[in-house]
């Protein structure tokens, strides 16, 4: 989580905040990023507009609220590990980065060292349903090994 400190201010929607609360990590996240996280209200009509726009994308309410917020704020980069949300945002021309990118950036910024980077990425891959493939893990490690 400390890796996120290298990306500057972060905006999340009220719906994403509700998700954080549901997963009982809200307080810990806000405490860790005191002052860095801005919670923005996204209305149901904004979400509805995105639902109409992205019909068939399979995105849920919190994802759609993120799309609405991105449309409003036009940030330099959107952080998500949800591939469906990523695809929807990229299709609309937004730059999207996942946790791996944030961790590599934290390494590049000197916030974590190479061993910590490898450990953090292993933990991330362990918890991922999509990236359980051994070949995928090897691909990621090969890429990380090439980083100085």
3-class state of residue 13 by DSSP = strand
Q: Which of 78, 107, 112, 120 binds other proteins (CB under 8 A)?
A: 107
Q: Is 114 in the site for other proteins (CB under 8 A)?
A: no
Considering the complex, state which of residue 37 and residue 144 has its C-beta at the smaller distance from other proteins: 144
With CB under 8 A, what is the number of residues at the site for other proteins? 30
Residues 115-144 that bind other proteins (CB under 8 A): 130-131, 133-136, 138-140, 143-144
The enclosing H or E element of 105 equals helix 99-108
58 in the Ramachandran plot: left (φ > 0), alpha (ψ -120 to 50) or beta?
Answer: left
**E strands in the chain:** 10-13, 37-40, 78-79, 96-97
Binding site for other proteins (CB under 8 A): 77, 83, 86-87, 95, 97-109, 130-131, 133-136, 138-140, 143-144, 147
């Amino acid at each position: 989580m400390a890796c996120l400190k290298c990306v500057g201010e972060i905006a999340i929607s009220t719906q994403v905040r509700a998700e954080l609360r549901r997963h009982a990590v809200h307080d810990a996240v806000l405490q860790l990023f005191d002052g860095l996280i801005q919670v923005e209200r996204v209305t149901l009509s904004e979400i509805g507009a995105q639902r109409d726009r992205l019909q068939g994308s399979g995105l849920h309410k919190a994802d759609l609220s993120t799309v609405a917020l991105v449309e409003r704020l036009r940030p330099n980069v959107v952080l998500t590990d949800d591939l469906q949300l990523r695809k929807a945002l990229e299709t609309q021309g937004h730059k999207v980065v996942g946790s791996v990118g944030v961790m590599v950036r934290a390494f590049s910024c000197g916030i974590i060292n190479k061993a910590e980077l490898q450990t953090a990425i292993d933990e991330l891959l362990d918890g991922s349903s999509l990236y359980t493939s051994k070949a995928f893990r090897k691909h990621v490690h090969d890429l990380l090994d090439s980083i100085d």
